[in-house]
Amino acid sequence: MAPPSGRARRADAERNARLLVAAARELFDERGPDVALDEVARRAGVGNATLYRHYPTRGDLLTAVYADEIAALCDRGAALLREPDPAEALFTWLEAFVVHVATRRTLAFAGVDGERRTALFERWHASLTSTAEKLLSRAQEVGAVRADLTVAEVLALANAVAVSETDAGRARRLLAILRHGFSGPD
């Protein structure tokens, strides 16, 4: 019997990596980032060697989970650009952003440190800023939000809401209160 093709192995490796990230996310949500890595492998249905081949350290796995969540948040923003109401699209994304920051900061800081943290955070910040900028510009073009707002101001205010709360419901409420300031005059 011939060995599997390189393409089949790559597809299998990608599938295993996705399974590991999904299992890790579930377990981190259930019990926090200190869950046993052997348990992540079991939940993903792969062996420990597969886990460590993809993610040699806990930090690597935590980073993969968080990076996947940032990508999903940016993908959600891209999808919202097709929504008919630009203001609703902006605030739907800002709500997801606020809830993410409020509830996932422990995960963000658990996986990386030092220079690596700085580089990753800069890349994640650039992705989130780009997404927010597109949504904000679209809402400004139709007059749904103040034309003088900058993306830096919007994200600073959203971050202020997010870091003041770890409860998603309270963070949503604070953002809803803040929203009225976005659309009103000075």
Predicted confidence at residue 66, as pLDDT, reads: 87
Say if residue 37's pLDDT is above 90: yes
pLDDT of residue 164: 87
Does the pLDDT at position 34 exceed 60?
Answer: yes
- Cα separation of 171 and 155, whole Å? 14
User: Using 50, 70 and 90 to split pLDDT, how confident is the model at 165?
Assistant: confident
Q: Are 52 and 110 in contact (CB under 8 A)?
A: no
Helix runs in the chain, H state only: 6-31, 37-44, 48-54, 58-80, 86-111, 114-141, 151-164, 168-183
Give the pLDDT of residue 142.
97
Identify the residue whose tokens are 């968080």. 66
User: Is the model's pLDDT at 186 over the cut of 50?
Assistant: no
pLDDT of amino acid 167: 83
Report how far residue 175's alpha carbon sits from residue 84's, in angstroms, rounded to the nearest whole number.
21
> Are 108 and 159 in contact, with CB atoms under 8 Å apart?
no
Q: What is the mean pLDDT of residues 6-28?
A: 87
At residue 91, the pLDDT reads 95
**Average pLDDT value over all residues in the chain:** 87
- Predicted local distance difference test score (pLDDT) of residue 4: 57
In eight-state DSSP terms, residue 148 is T
Query: Does residue 89 have a pLDDT over 90?
Result: yes
Instruction: Give Rg (Cα) of the chain.
Output: 19
Question: pLDDT tens digit string along 104-143?
Answer: 877 766 666 666 666 778 888 899 999 999 999 999 999 9
- Count CB atoms within 10 A of the CB of residue 171: 24
